Structures are given as structure tokens and as C-alpha cells.
Structure 1
């Protein structure tokens, strides 16, 4: 179990799992000349770490993992150690203290062991984490920073004036630091097993902006806050990420010294059901749109603000702001006579909760009783702080830790005044990697706002260097899209950093990953102009060479392929993720398509295997397996489990790794047994869950029989049967095949509409047959082989000419399956035409990455500029796969690509060329060009010599083929 580990888990004195705290650890030691040379450092931490050796940043980790399979990293560090001198290991540990969509809450901890090795590999000495390590909380990091999103942990609030950044250097004076506390050995605590990292370290590539896009003087809120009402109202909810429904209120008192005109607003109003001021309902907060603002004329004195925070929410964050040019203050209604709240209490109190429910997709829950008498009474009975006295059993203070000191997102979004300025040429120095500074202009009474364009989206760690007076505030807000009239704010994502400057010149490298194209930079509270010596991003992704290539005679297709490639790269972290900005979550179903795309771009296999192996770790949450891992949102999308099983088989086909196929088959068979138990008396798969496939308005209720996932279950059972045969389980394979055939028969018996000549979308839980006909269901019927004979021919015609009255495809994710169905019948021209049409809209709108949705199906679309939610979503990168597989015609015929086919399709092009990685090493190059007025084609191919190649050429043209076999 220990595998040579001698180290202990260590932490600081105090809370085991503090909310959003950064802790620093140091160990100083000497190395003799005899010991210097080979040195191996193994380490891990909960939740994340940044490692420094003698002041040099060496790495970040660990990769996301289940706590019962805690991943650790290994670094070769001998070249960084100095014999005969003091050496220092310094580690910054970021502990979340809450569960997210990519982290299961454990407790704060650091584990590290440096082995000094002899030439023969024997350990001469080990430097281990123990009570001799020194530790301090990072005193410049504010734990009350806002939550980034329900999927992620926290944004960043750093006061550099309170912390000496030289703490990681060898010579740092650490005498005031405390000794670390040993909290257990290897195998103790939540980390019951240690697993070595199974992928390479990620990249860190410094990228610079294109230009300063705009410059303005602005005024925003004078006061702002974000309240984590979820974790306050629902005790224990920090231990999971499930959706919660609750009923309750939050309240605060605004005290004005004189009659004033104020703006009270919520820059993101989700989670606020109603607002009263002094007992009067503010109608502005019952409107539509994410932002709500009320302009009010208020008298001097105290004003009670009461917010109904009832609702169903994942994040449970309430955003508030106030603009007021006369003196004001907020007070807790519980202590309106005091100058300040006491005992760690904020200026807010809560009333309730009157009821709470935790929602899990595949489990029924009782609805909240919204007729609770006290809940209904409060909104009408409370007009001033003293009115709360009759509800003392329900009222309690909201602790400071749940209320941010500033809502940087709100300050960035809301503008009371904005004056745009011409951009001085010298200001562009801040985005140029040179020695000159860009000087930020100031004017009295205003903040200075810049928008920096990085030219395309990136994902990594924001870095900047400034010279400023201590106390100057610089706010950073990253977002993905803007045009000349519109900025798409990241509602639901607090993608911000607040940096309070120390004195003089200083460099900061954020340890928090974020995705963005634009950075809004706002300088506040500056007593002199701020000098910006640079801003950049350490682009961080899975290490890949850009082996796959594509280019052709159509510039639009070239542009589309490029944005597909860049999107896929940004969404390859320590797993595939859905998007680099909003979520950074490994969604199991998304990754099936991402893996196929990656195969044609980069040809790397370790990340795919890692993703597939993570999924069964969720079986302790549900035998159906959850849809994002590792996560504490116990959410099931049946299709996502099906896609995972299909992806496991596709990994075998890609690599020929039979050992993996045998290993994973047991997990697939396990979960499919539980899915088959959900088949009802009609022989159909019938489940309560998140029965999702596409964002468009197809009929896919959360309870009942949904056609598309019944069909995908058939394909999954058949695929599992193939794995069963590889695993030498003929009985299991026979059972799986039998279940597939029975289910396919039931689908054709019960879900076909003879009159409409199409498959219906669903049968509702009450037995009502859906009247919706969608392209999605017909596509899946074709792709999974459910539609046979005349029905198959009918459905094939729908693929070519979708009926106008059918619900149309709403996302590029669904288009992937549509293209697969077209490819089955050789309709490559239709694929290319659809790519030109739908992805062409993205290119026309300046996209540098692929969108999550098509514009007509963008959720909560408030205006025509709101084209999609996420502007970088890897489930949308289908062109990079299909242009290589179908247009260039490069595809495997056997597992491991020992035999391949090259069968290019012309698609009205005059030339095309590209490369596809071979999973065994090397690549396949294809180039063709029409000649002699389009009557002849010259085809050039190159491939590894050990690969058997079948070449098929288009009919009706003379062909000259040149082959090159490459040695290995």
C-alpha cells in the first residue's frame, strides 16, 4: 500500500476543511555533494497545489480524482537542488472547503516526499512532510471571495499589501510561521488509496493579448455584495453539489444620513424571487432579464430591505449592489443600534428556512409545501427591523464567511456612468511583451476601465505586472464575447479577480484556472497612474503536438476546421471538459465525441483512458453512474452513461488495447444490469432522470419513456456484447444481445407512428403519447439501426430533407450524431453542406472557437446578439473529425488501425490536403488535386510502413496515385 511512502499528511492548526483558504508550507534542508544528483519528489494535496523549488515554480496539481483514488504527482528535481546550500520546497495549497462538479470535499492536507537517490536507485535520504514543516495561511488571500459558479470553487481576492510574495524563496524569514500538524499517514483520512498520475503534466505557454480594445471612465456601485444563501440556509450542503430547493428570506437595513436618490440592483438576479423595501414590493425585481435595477427616492433614516430567496438553485448566490452619492451604511436588522455587526456576523440576517429539499434526478422527492403559514406571512408583515421580533424562532444572522466583501462581477457589469475615450498609442504597451509600461490614465471621481482582447479564447492562469501605490485596486473580469454594440456578460460565472496592490512594482500569477477571450481591467482607488508592464495568460492544456491538419480550396471550411481544433485543445485539461470558462467539468457524454475528435487532431490516448476509468468511481453514488465525474452532483443522464460505454469500445477500436476492454467490460455490464431493471411491462426503458440529448424543444420529459435513450440503450447493449466476447464472457454477451433485440422490437412496436411515418419522441408517465416529431429521434433511429426496411428508407430520406414541421437540431453536439447517420449512408456532401451552413454563422460572427448552441436555440435569449451561452464548447468540434474521416476519407478498418482505408470525397472542391495521427505512432498524410478540367485527380498518400492501406478513389475521374511508406 505505502509503496515506499514515509511521508505524513500535514495541515495547519484550526478547521479541518475551511471554506476557501489558501495555506502555505515550507521545508528548508541541505543536500550534501554525495546526495546531490537524482532526486524524485512525490506529492499531492487537497484540494489543489502550486509547487516551488528554491523559488522556481515547478508544477500544479493534483489532477482531479476521487478521494478514494487520490492522484499524486512525481517530479524529477535533482537539477534544481544546490549541494552544500539551503534548499527550500514551498507549496501553496488551495483548499476549497466545498464540493463542486469536479471535486469531492475532503479535508485540507498536503503530502510530499523528496527521495534523494543513489545511482543504483536506492534512497539515500527522504525529506518528508511532518511536523518540522512550517506553515501559514496566505494572509493576503480573502476567503470571502465569491463563488465562481455551482460547478467551480471560488474567484480570487488578493491583497498584496498584506503578504510577502517572497515566501517561496530560500532566504525568506519564516520564523513567525507555525509548525505543521500531522493529520495522518498514507491511507488515512478520506484519501484511502494513492494512485500515480496517469497523464503527463499540462502545458504552460505564455500568450499575449492582441490589443487594448477600449478605454473608459466609469462609475459603478458604491457598495456590493454576493451572499451564499445556499450554504447558510441548508446545513451540510457544502458536502454535495446537488440542486436544492428552499424557502426563506434575507434582510438588511440601509441607513441614509439624508434624503437620497439611490439605485438598488442585482447584476444577476437569479435566486431572488421578490424584494420589498419598508414593506413595499419593488416591481423592478419581478421583471425579466438577468439584471434588475430600481431607481428610488428615499428619505433619511432606516430602510429595511427584505429579499425572498426561495427557489430551486445549484449555486444559491445572491448578488446585490447600491449606488448612492450621499453617506450611507448597511446594518444587520438584528443590531441596528450598533455601529458594526459583531462576532463574525454580516450586515444580513435570514428568516427561515421554512422548508428545504435536495433534488437528485433519478430519485423522487416530495415537493416543498409552499403554503407554510409563516413564510406566507413574512412578506406582508415585515416592514421594519422591529417587525422581525415576532419571528425570533426563524431569524438568525448570516455569518461573514457567506457574504463577499465586494461583488467584482456586479461592479464590472453595472455602469451608472461610462465615458469612452480614444486609446493612447502608448497604452498599447501593456499588451506588448517589451520593457515599456502602459500607463493607465486617471480622472477624479471615476474608475478607469480597459477591455483587453486576447484575439481568441484561452484557458489558463492570468498573469500581470504593475507598478502602483499600495491600496490601489485592480479588478479583472474575463468574458468570451463582445461586438461593437454588445458585451455578453457571464451570468452564472463570477470570472473575476480583485487585486489590491502592494507598494511599487509587483508581479502576480493567478493560481486559479479560468477561460476567457477578453479581460475587463478596472483600476479603482488609485492615487497615481498605474503602470502596467504586461498582462498575459499561461495557456494550460493537455500536452499535444498539432499532428492533425486540414486545408482545402474552400477558405470557409479551413476556418471552421481551425476553430474546431482550437476548441478541442482548450477543452483538454486533466480530463476532457465541456468548456474552459463556465464549468471546466468532465461531462461523461460530451467526452465521447471529444475523444473521437481528439483522435483525428492529436492522437493521444492516455487522456481518453483516464476519462473512461474515472466514470465507474461514481457507482457508490448510483449504479446508473453519474453524468459528470468526479463530482458530488448525483445527476444521471442515461444517454451519458450509454455514450461512456460506447466510448470504451471506441477506445479499444482506436488502440487495440484488449486488456482495457476486458477491464472496463465488468463495469459496463454492472451498470447495464441496473438499466435493464428499468425496462417496464411494455418492454421499454422507463426512467425518472435527466432524459436529455439536445437543447432544442424535443419532447424528453424527466419521467417516462423517451425514444432516443431507448434507442441508444439498444446500441449500448449491442456494443457491450462485443466487449463481452472480447472478455471471453459468451453468456454475458448472449444476455446483452438478447436484451438489445427485445428492446429494439418493443421500440418498433410502441414508438412508431404509422400515420406520421416517424418515431414519436416519448410516452409520458401518464401513458400519453407524444405528439412531437423531431429530427433528433429520427437521427437516433437511423444511427442505432432501430429503423429497418421501409422504415429505414423513410428515415434515410428525412436525413436528406428534414420535414419542416419536425423539431430541428439545436446544438452542434446533436449535429455530431446527425453527421454519423449521414456518414453511414455515404452522404458526405450533406455533412459538408451542413457544416458550412451552421458553422459558417459562427465564423461570420467572429468566432475563434465553436459555440455550445446554435443561435435559434440559445437559452434565455434576450437579444439577437446573444448567440449562445458558451462560446467555447468542445462537444461542438465535430468538423475536425468529419472533415478528416469523411472528406479526406481516412478511417480505420481494424482495431489499432493496423489496416486503414483512404477514400477521399471531392465535395465540389478542387483540392484538399491534411494529416491524421496514427494511434501507433506517426501519421497518415493525404493530398489530392483535380487536374485536366476536373476529369483527373492526383492523389498523394504517406503512411507508416507497418499499416495495411486500402485506397478507394472517386468514380468517374482518372486517378494518379503516389504512395510513400514511412519506416518506424
Structure 2
């Protein structure tokens, strides 16, 4: 749409160390204008990320997460920052250069064009650059395998290169314009989603403070240093000077804290722990007046279970280091969001003076409106609904994220849960569409998707690939965007045809080669870590395969490809019969999880739930038997966890009259227990931070699923035809005497209000004229 000016620009980068991973490069372009250009626009794209200033004023940051062969560009209005005479455009660009769970390695490169109306200022030979003097470049500490590198910043090396009156000298040189001479140019397209909103600084409360003695060698990571330092609490007045103008009983991140320099001669340093008040996600920001040589190690986390921030978890490092320059300085790290509730500072190396003006976070949010409404008389369920919305929103940035703290990764199963909730509370379809598009672009030759997108990893989760097809069909149903579905159907067919060709006796064998993580749930025998034989058949894999076949058939039918739709549906029926024949154990009244000669019988709630949802039982009697077994509290099955409880609840609500109370009592008990334990967002598992060897996240998108059941079952609104063209309202009262709410649709809101009366359930529904309710 806006690309014309980019056609004149060249991809550029620093001439030196172009293959270096984790590198930061300063770019500076000076140009003259005869007059101000109030309507000027800046277009830019980069591998991997950027922050941009114009005439010393911050403009924007944040490259869209996508693939190296297809790069989004940002369109930024910048005319208000230009003036007649000399102007300067400065860009700090970051190249990760190593594939992770939200980045696929590409070539380092920056391209931009500034259209002023009178001229077009482009990346090219007039751009000068150098490797950043302030950021430590190259192989440094990883945050995690999923997130890439942490950072170390040396403020004393910042020579104010972004200022208008700065004069280049030394290592500055003309940018390399021959980057892609023998390579493929990425195709460029305009960012498909709205830019993230960078909000104002959070005012956090000072939770704890004191002195510390370093207990580890300096060569350790900042995270391990923070984790192992000896801490000793001190009252604020013991470690501060110049306290006359601050309230010692209510210190915050905005309080001006002058640290007593005398402590740094007796101990290693002073520590401060700030509480953001709730789970947050955003950019770290710091403002200090310090002396050259002072150092701040900064950790962040979701809890204080260790009586400090858990900065080091196994090989994960949730911390970074800032080396102070001389005098007042402000710093924002634009290249990796942090998340959590607590920030811990370990300040050392101070000789005479250190004044902290701010340390904390500027939240970053995807701009979205809460359009759905749900109201019930139960305060616990209302609180669960509100916290679930916040959890969902915290896990939405460039795409759906599993957790904003530990991974920031887009998974197919996680995003399916998130999207189902988002349709009801946000009614926004661009965001899920682009997330699903990213996943689809990762299709491999073996018919499976990459584990995350955009990513490149040695492992994949086969069952999650099939859930991508399911979530696409659900997206079609809620959004009505058949044109998009038509564009993605070739990928779906390519995937499904690979697996159809691999069927044996109407089933899929479990892939056992290296790189296949046969994960189904975070429970014994389902997590995919056990050694398996070369010949094994997994019920969960085949059950989600059935669901994917039927989902593909539904999309093909809606797009007018009825012949292919019938073929997929017929194959699904064959697989259903084979699953029942292979896995049903009549004496147990349940379906086995695996068929493998050397493995003990394994029965799981997940397997029974998926069997019901895939309509595997050949008659109502067997279906009732499976559902009844699933509903028993002590059924002897491997239990289902938060991530997959959506399947159990949906399966039980296949017979709402019998099991509706059980489902919503379970939601109240499970999600309520997190609230009673102080949660401000919902956890990855019920074990909270103790899960996964103390790496459990306390904000996980898949745990927002109560929203789906509140709207789709308690309120009772579900689409029948794509886009809610026809819909049903069938409330599941579950002991409530009244419920009201609003469900957004592509045509406008559906408003529902029902209550129990002596004459029965009284239901009132209003909806746009373009859609109709099926009664």
C-alpha cells in the first residue's frame, strides 16, 4: 500500500562482522530539507529488530515477528519531528542471528525510506553505521533457548550519537549496500497488525531493600549472581540519604532514592526489590544519576517464593547488567520484553554517589477493545472472568504467546485455547488470523508444523499440528472470513494429504524418529519424554487427526469444494472405526492411550475426552459409559491438566443436564484456588511456580479458558454458520439463577439475558438483523 518509496531503498548493514550473532548496530543518516514536511512518512524493516529516533526524538520500535523471506515493514508518520535545514535519522538495529522460538534466522539487514514530499531519503550509501559501542555484542548469556540472548549495556560508551548536533568520527563508515548481491531479497509487505502500545512507566512499590555480599565469582551470569548473593534486610532510612523529601513509609519506583555510599565500602552493595502490583509485560526502563563505574544487575520474575526474584532457573537467566556512565542517564531496552511482577536491583561499584530516579517497566500492549460482556451473580466467577481476560491480553503481542515471561512463543494448541476465548471477549479477528498464518507458513515436508512460529527448531509436536487445522475451522466459524480460509486451504490439504498417504490400517503410527516430541499433556505418560518402541500406536494422535480431518472437510465444504470435503469426511469415519477397534477396552469401559506390547495399560482423562469430542463411540450407550467414567473424581485415569481441561469440560457438556454443575464447580475450585493464592493472572499448571523444576509460569494464555465456557455455555451463545450468520442460544444454567452478557460478532453484538422464574427459564435475545437465531 505504501511501498513505492521503499523501491528506491537498499538493504544495508555494517560492513564488519556481518555473521556475528547478537549484534547491535548504530545507523545515522543526515539530510537537509528546504522546508518542514508535516506529512512525511517513514517506512522501515529489519532483521531482527529496531528502535528509531528523528532529530533526537524517539519515534518507535519493534519489528513484526515473521520469516526472513517475507519481512513486514512499519509505516510511521514522522512529519511533526522534521524541520527546515539539517535533520538526522538514527536507528539502533539488532540482529539476533540465531533461531529461537519466535525468530527464524535470516540475513542481517535494514531497509528504510523517508518520504518528505519534496524528496525520498533512503537507506543506501548515504547511511553511516558502526557496531554499537554501548551494547556488548556477540556470544553472551542466553535468557533461554526459547528467547535468545539477554544483554549487557555500558552507558559510559554512549557518545550521544542520536543527537542532531553530533559529529561522526572514528569507526563510523558508509553502510554496506551489497548485502544481498548473491542472496534472495526478502519480499516486503505492510505490517498486518496494529503496532503495540508503549505505555507510561508503572509506579511500583518498594517491596524490600537491604545490603548484599557477593557469594559467587564475577564470571557467573547476572541471574546466578542475583540468585546466590547473601541478602541482609535494612530499613530504608539505614541505606538512604537525603530522605527529607520522600515518604519512607510508601517508597515507590518514582521516589528519588539517594543511596548511602558508605555501605559500598562495608559490603558488596545495596539491593532493592520492586513490586509492580500485578503481572505485567513490557520494556525495562531506568533513570539514574550515577558515577562511571557503578554497576546494576537487574533481575525480573513472577514471584518471591525464594524470598527474592527467581532470576536463575536451571540454565535460564532472567537478568541483565547495566554499567553506569557519569551523571544523569536514562535507558530503555527496546529489543526484548520482560515480564513478571517483581524487579530486583543489585547495585555495586559505587564510590561517592548514586541516585535512583526510576527503575521499572513501561507496559507494552496490543491495542484491543473488550467488546464482550459477561455478568453473573457469583463474585468468584466474575473475578475468574476478569482475571482470564487480563491473562489473555498479557499473552498477546506480535502474536499469541504461551507466556510473556519464559518463552513468548506461538504454539498451535495454546493459540487455539486463546483464540476461542478471544472471539467472545474481544471479537477481533485480525490477530488470530495472523497468528494462524504464521503457523501455516512453517509447514515442513513431513506434514507437520514447526513447534512454534516463526521459528526453526529440531523438534515438533505432531498433535499440535493437527490442532492448527482445528483452530482454522473454528476461526472460520466465528469470523466468517471464507476468503482467508480459501488462501490457507492449499496448506491444509498439503498437510493432510501427507498424513493420509502415511496411514496404515486406517491409523497413523506414532513417529519415533529424533525430533518428534509426542506430547499430549503435562502428565505421566503423556508428556512425550519416555522411550518408545519403533512400532507404537497412540490414541490421542489419531483422535486429533480425526478432528483435523473433519475440520478440513468443513472448511472445504464452506469454500465450495464439496468433493474433497466428502473425501476427508469419509477418511475420518474410517479412522474413527479403527480407533474404536484398536483402543476400546470393554472391560474397563474406556479407551487405551497407547497400543504397545511392552507398555503397561495407560488410561487418561484426555484420551476419553478426545474420544467423545471426535465421536468415536459407535453408540450412545458406550458414549454415556465413557462420559460417566470421565466425570468420576477418583476414576483411576491419568488426570487432565489446565492446558487440556477444555477438552474434558466440552466432552462432559455433551450431556449438560448431568454434568453442567460438575464443570462449573471444577472451574470455580481450580481457578479460584489460584486467585486465593494471590494470582493476578492464571498459571501454567495448578502447581504454579514449582512446576517444571521451578520454572512454572504464573501467566499462561491457555489458562484463560473459563471465558469460553462462560460465554458459550453459561450465556449459551454459539455460532452455527460461519460468522454467526446463524447461531444458537442454549444456556447451561449450572445452578445460576440469572446470567446476562454480550457476544461480539462480525455483524454486531448479540445481547443475551436469561433468568430462572417459577415458569421456567426466561430468555431474552437481541441481535443484528443480518444474522438469525436458530431455535
Q: TM-score normalized by structure 1?
A: 0.73
State which of 212, 232, 235 in structure 2 corresponds to 1:419. 232
Deviations, residues 885-916 of structure 1 (Å, cap 9, x unaligned) = 21122222321123333444433335444433
Distance 1:633 1:890 in 2: 39
Q: 2:376 aligns with which of 546, 552, 569?
A: 552
| Higher mean displacement: 58-67 or 516-525 | 58-67
Specify the alignment match of 2:74 in structure 1.
Answer: 73
Are 1:807 and 2:633 an aligned pair? no
**Residues 88 and 877 of structure 1, relative CA distance in 2, 3 Å threshold:** same
**What is the distance in 1 between the residues matched to 2:104 and 2:601?**
42
The residue number in structure 2 matching 1:464 is: 286
Return the offset for 1:950: 5.7
1:616-655 matches, cutoff 5 A: 616-620=440-444, 622-655=446-479
Equivalent pairs, count: 748
Q: Is the 8 A contact 1:132 1:180 kept in 2?
A: yes
Work out the CA distance in 2 between the residues paired with 1:98 and 1:514.
19
Contact 1:661 1:726 survives alignment (8 Å): no
Does residue 479 of structure 1 match 2:301? yes
Structure 1's 935 and 739: CA in aligned 2 closer, same or farther, altered over 3 A? closer
Query: For residue 36 of structure 1, what is the aligned residue in structure 2?
Result: 37
Answer whether contact 2:510 2:541 (CA < 8 A) is retained. Answer: no
Kept in 2, the 8 Å contact 1:204–1:538? The answer is yes
- Residue 791 (1) aligns with residue 610 (2): no
Deviations 1:651-698 (A, max 9, x none): 111121111122111111101111223322464443222121210113
- CA drift of 1:717 comes to 0.8
Distance 1:737 1:918, change over 3 A: closer
Aligned residues of 1:431 and 1:535 also touching (Cα < 8 A)? no
| Per-residue deviation, 1:156 | 1.6
Q: Do the aligned partners of residues 592 and 469 (structure 1) sit closer, same or farther apart at CA in structure 2, a change above 3 Å counting?
A: same
Q: Secondary structure at the residue paired with 1:464? A: strand
**Distance in 1 of aligned mates of 2:634 and 2:357:** 58
Shift of 1:620: 4.7
**Matched residues in 1 for 2:89 and 2:763: separation?**
57
The verdict on how the C-alpha distance between 1:431 and 1:180 changes in structure 2, with shifts beyond 3 A counting, is farther
What residue in structure 2 maps to residue 870 of structure 1? 697
In structure 2, the residue matched to 1:740 is 572
User: In the alignment, what sits opposite 2:749?
Assistant: 923
Secondary structure (helix, strand or coil) at the match of 1:168 reads coil
Q: Encode CA deviations 1:162-192: one digit per residue, 9 max, x unaligned.
A: 113x322322222445233334488973543
Larger Rg over CA atoms = 1
Does the C-alpha gap of structure 1 residues 903 and 439 become closer, same or farther in structure 2, counting only changes over 3 Å? farther
Correspondent of 1:437 among 237, 246, 256: 256
- Measure how far apart 1:935 and its partner are: 7.2
Change (3 A) 1:32 1:626: same
CA drift of 1:63 comes to 0.9
- Corresponding position of 1:847: 679
CA contact (8 A) 2:196 2:367 kept: yes
Is the 8 Å Cα contact of residues 41 and 76 (structure 2) preserved in structure 1?
yes
Name structure 1 gaps, 5 residues minimum: 118-123, 226-320, 322-406, 952-968
C-alpha separation between the residues in 2 aligned to 1:138 and 1:429?
A: 39
User: Cα 1:950–1:679, aligned 2, differ >3 Å: closer, same or farther?
Assistant: closer
2:200 counterpart SS class: strand
Q: 1:798 Cα shift?
A: 2.1
Do structure 1's residue 594 and structure 2's residue 418 form an aligned pair? yes
| Deviation (angstroms), 1:460 | 1.2
Query: Once the 2 structures are TM-superposed, how far is the Cα of residue 770 of structure 1 from its aligned partner?
Result: 4.3
Q: Paired residue for 1:159?
A: 154
Alignment of 1:7-406 (within 5 A): 7-33=9-35, 36-82=37-83, 84-117=84-117, 124-143=118-137, 145-164=140-159, 166-176=160-170, 178-184=172-178, 189=183, 191-225=185-219, 321=220
1:615 & 1:892 partners in 2: Cα distance? 25
Aligned to 2:274: 452
> Cα gap change, 1:742/1:719 in structure 2, threshold over 3 Å: closer, same or farther?
same
**Structure with the larger strand share:** 1
- Residue 493 of structure 1 corresponds to 316
Deviates most, 665-674 or 191-200: 191-200
> How far apart, CA to CA, are the structure 1 residues paired with 2:121 and 2:4?
16
Task: After TM superposition, give the deviation of residue 727 of structure 1 in Å.
Answer: 3.4
Shift of 1:617: 2.2
Q: How far is the alpha carbon of 1:210 from its aligned partner?
A: 3.8
Q: Structure 1 residues 115, 631: closer, same or farther in 2, change over 3 A?
A: same
Q: Name the CA distance, whole Å, in 2 between partners of 1:428 and 1:160.
A: 32
8 Å CA contact retained: 1:7, 1:185: no
Q: Please say if residues 67 and 190 of structure 1, whose CA atoms lie closer than 8 Å, have aligned partners that are also in contact.
A: no
Contact 1:187 1:193 in 2 (8 A): no
Query: What is the 5 A alignment of 1:747-766?
Result: 747-764=579-596
* Residues 474 and 498 in structure 1, CA contact (< 8 A), matched pair in contact too: yes
Q: CA–CA distance in 2 between the matches of 1:836 and 1:191?
A: 53
CA drift at 1:482: 2.2
| 1:726 is aligned to 2:543 | no
CA shift at 1:859, angstroms? 4.1
Could you list the per-position Cα deviations for residues 317-343 of structure 1 after superposition, in whole angstroms to 9, with x for gaps in the alignment?
A: xxxx5xxxxxxxxxxxxxxxxxxxxxx
Q: CA separation of 1:56/1:820 partners in 2, compared to 1, >3 Å: closer, same or farther?
A: farther
Q: 1:599, 1:216 → 2: CA distance? A: 47
* TM-score calculated relative to the size of structure 2: 0.91
Secondary structure of 1:824's partner?
A: coil
SS for the counterpart of 2:443 is: helix
Query: Judging changes above 3 Å, is the alpha-carbon distance between structure 1 residues 488 and 753 closer, same or farther for their aligned structure 2 residues?
Result: farther
1:777: which partner in 2? 607
Matched residue, 1:408:
222
Taking the aligned partners of 1:498 and 1:857, their CA distance within structure 2 comes to 25
Q: 1:793 to 1:576 in 2, by over 3 A?
A: same
- Does structure 2 conserve the Cα–Cα contact (< 8 Å) formed by 1:695 and 1:857? no
2:241 counterpart residue number: none
SS in 2 for 1:568: helix
Quote the offset at 1:835 in angstroms.
Answer: 0.7
Offset of residue 470 of structure 1: 1.6
1:673 is the counterpart of 2:497 = yes
Contact 1:476 1:498 in 2 (8 A): yes
Distance 1:747 1:915 in 2: 40
- Residue equivalent to 2:243: none
Shift in CA distance, 488/613, structure 1 to aligned 2, threshold 3 Å:
same
**Cα gap change, 1:487/1:190 in structure 2, threshold over 3 Å: closer, same or farther?**
same
Question: For the Cα contact (< 8 Å) 1:104–1:632, is it kept in 2?
Answer: yes
Kept in 1, the 8 Å contact 2:10–2:123? The answer is yes
Aligned position for 2:717: 890
State which of 565, 575, 578 in structure 1 corresponds to 2:389: 565
Partners of 1:860 and 1:548 lie apart in 2 by 34
Tell me which moved more, 748-757 or 186-195: 186-195
In structure 2, runs of 5+ residues without a counterpart are 238-245
Match of 1:723, SS state, is: helix
CA contact (8 A) 1:160 1:501 kept: yes
Deviations 1:868-896 (A, max 9, x none): 71111101110122112211222223211
Cα gap change, 1:430 to 1:53, in 2 (>3 Å): farther
Contact residue 208 and residue 537 of structure 1 kept, 8 A = yes
| Mapped partners of 1:421, 1:496: distance in 2 | 23
- Structure-1 separation of matches of 2:104 and 2:688: 36
Which of 736, 745, 770 is 1:909 aligned to?
736
Once the two structures are TM-superposed, the CA of residue 544 in structure 1 deviates from its matched residue by: 0.6
CA offset at residue 643 of structure 1? 0.8
